[in-house]
Amino acid sequence: MKSVELRNVTFAYPNGYVANEQLNLQIGRGERVAIVGQNGAGKTTAVKLINGLHKPTQGDVFVDGVNTKDKTVAQISAYVGYVFQNPDDQIFNNSVKSEIEYTLRYLKLPSKDIERRVERAVELTGIGDYLDMNPFDVPYSIRKFVTIAVILAIDTPYLILDEPTAGQDLIGIKKLIELMDLLQEEQKSVITITHDMEFVANNFTRVIAMANKRIIADDTPRNIFWHEAVVAEAKIKKPEIGELAKKVGIGGNIIYRDEMVEKLSYNLKPSVN
Ligand SMILES: Nc1ncnc2c1ncn2[C@@H]1O[C@H](COP(=O)(O)OP(=O)(O)OP(=O)(O)O)[C@@H](O)[C@H]1O
């Protein structure tokens, strides 16, 4: 099966700080996965292992069966695209268009192909009005879409989005969801780090919870959000509806508004007897 896989992976930064311990994880093509957990749990470190920016101190990372230790970051980035948490850490060209074109030119793709890829990435991210602007002059929410467009144009089978909803309004979030749906239809994998639990509950079926350098759960949103020990250890919050259901003592491990409405209307139905 084509997948990214972490096998018994431990990673220590050059200063000796161990940020990931004994990670085991497999994500197949076409899967959509959310990684959640407290600040400093090791989420960003883990995804940087997937795209080869970090190489494991112990254990192995495979991308479609190839060990990342045997490849350069540039080689792996043709398979795994990483959209940084902060777009300013990623952007270095002086126009939006040249930012999107940069890697494609580096890869020496034919100009017709570059044009086609840029056009598609721009259309999918809706940034057509900003192409000639300096990326640092466009609003933060758009700048994030510029960095997403860069990765879309490279057309990698795996995409990592670090905090994609941060700084986005409802329109931006809707655009992101449409994008993730489309990528999934194309059998591409989207791996998303996020602190936005509503976004997780509504858009993912697989959630990986991290705490203290380790993966502590890999399950559905409902099982994650109603596993109180996981919620406490990963320091995550249930989606608001889940919190409310817990407060008012409604059973059923609710995490969605519709479930809440259904449960409440059922409870309020007059008894037949
Ligand atoms: N270059 C580095 N050198 C040493 N320690 C680092 C380095 N980068 C990160 N760390 C440490 O590794 C730990 C894990 O960081 P990481 O960024 O992976 O966490 P995270 O779960 O993504 O957190 P957040 O949600 O805040 O982004 C943190 O304690 C962080 O301080």
Pick from 17, 57, 197 the residue to mutate for probing ligand 1's pocket: most ligand atoms within 8 Å of its CB. 17
The structure's pTM equals 0.93
Can you give the pLDDT at residue 220?
Answer: 96
Tell me the C-alpha distance between 105 and 153, whole Å. 11
Q: Do 66 and 172 have their domain in common?
A: yes
Mind listing the pLDDT tens digit of every residue in the chain (273 residues)? 799 999 999 999 999 999 999 999 999 999 999 999 999 999 999 999 999 999 999 999 999 999 999 999 989 999 999 999 898 888 888 999 999 999 999 989 999 999 999 999 999 999 999 999 999 999 999 999 999 999 999 999 999 999 999 999 999 999 999 999 999 999 999 999 999 999 999 999 999 999 999 999 999 999 999 999 999 999 998 888 888 888 888 777 888 888 878 877 776 666 655
57 and 137 both lie in a single domain: yes
Sign of CA dihedral 215, 41, 207, 62: negative
Ligand 1: centre distance to CA 195 (Å)? 15
Give distance in angstroms: CA of 90 to centre of ligand 1: 17
Verify that 214 and 90 share a domain, yes or no. yes
Same domain, 62 and 197: yes
CA atoms of 156 and 178, how far apart (whole Å):
18
C-alpha to C-alpha distance for 29 and 188, rounded to whole angstroms: 6
Cα–Cα distances in angstroms (integers) from residue 252 to residues 87, 222, 223, in the given order: 40, 10, 11
ipTM for the assembly: 0.97
Q: Same domain, yes or no, for 272 and 151?
A: no
Atom of ligand 1 nearest to the CA of 213: 14
14 Cα nearest atom in ligand 1: 3
Question: Which is the closest atom of ligand 1 to the Cα of 42?
Answer: 18
The pLDDT value recorded for residue 269 is 67
Q: How far is the CA of 163 from the centre of ligand 1 (A)?
A: 14
8-state DSSP, 205: S
Domain count, the chain: 2
- What is the residue range of 33's domain? 3-237
80 shares a domain with 209? yes
Q: Is the CB of 136 under 6 A from ligand 1?
A: no
